Amino acid sequence: MRNLKLVLKYDGTNYCGFQVQREEPTIQSELERAIERITGERSRVIPAGRTDAGVHAEGQVANFKTGSRIPTERVPHALNSVLPQDIVVADCVEVPMDFNARYDARSKLYRYTVDNGPFPSPFWRRYALHLSQPLDVGAMRAAGTFLVGTQDFASFRASGSAAKTTTRTIQRFRCFRSGNLVHIEVQADGFLYHMVRIIAGTLLEVGTGKRSVDSIREVIRKRNREAAGPTAPAHGLRLMRVSYS
């Protein structure tokens, strides 16, 4: 048996998230179907994170175990030949048998993108939230600095989470503009349900002047979902990278 680690890119528009769901299209079901086609085996795919419906990825990581002897450098070509065009295997390496893409991950980097032009770009309509009101990126950047560090992020957790603790460590935060696009990047050791999308929705309120920069401190202190802003739509979110020790 071998344990193979995959790096995946996908457009999540047409999928109900990563995790297998009965009678619903998901990234995992398509990937496991493709693996069975090229190896003749039914394999369980373990992702680094279960992205939600409509969320995209440029650097999702997953692993699966197989008895197939297909050379690792050929695995991406073989899988991509049978996968839908909106799911791509970008890399494959053999890893130790005890490697687990989820539990061995040390951090994940997510990016939320806003199309801040006066009119929506047809090229970004599936990958960015359009908001025509000008954003104060400097204020958003200043507010985001309060999120960095080990804190209780209960205010940024949507209902339905089974997490035992709401304490997480945000290791890095960035907010920057590139033309009409505004990007919010958050890297952490783990995330709560809808955490990045709630952070994005809250910072957009700062950027449009609906709340002050310092109000983020109070949002964190209250540990109450109602204190934070709205949950930003899923299509603006991408999993950019998963890091391992």
CA 86 to each of CA 2, 11, 15, 70, 122: distance values in angstroms, whole numbers, following the listed order: 27, 5, 10, 23, 18
3-state SS assignment for residue 1 = coil
Please identify which of the residues 52, 91, 136, 152 carries the catalytic annotation: 52
Distance of alpha carbon 102 from alpha carbon 195, whole angstroms = 18
3-state SS assignment for residue 184 = strand
Distance of alpha carbon 217 from alpha carbon 42, whole angstroms = 48
**Helix/strand/coil (H/E/C) assignment for every residue in 9-34:** EECHHHCCCCCCECCECCHHHHHHHH
Where on the phi/psi map is residue 67: left (φ > 0), alpha (ψ -120 to 50), or beta?
alpha
Active site residue 52: yes
Catalytic residues: 52
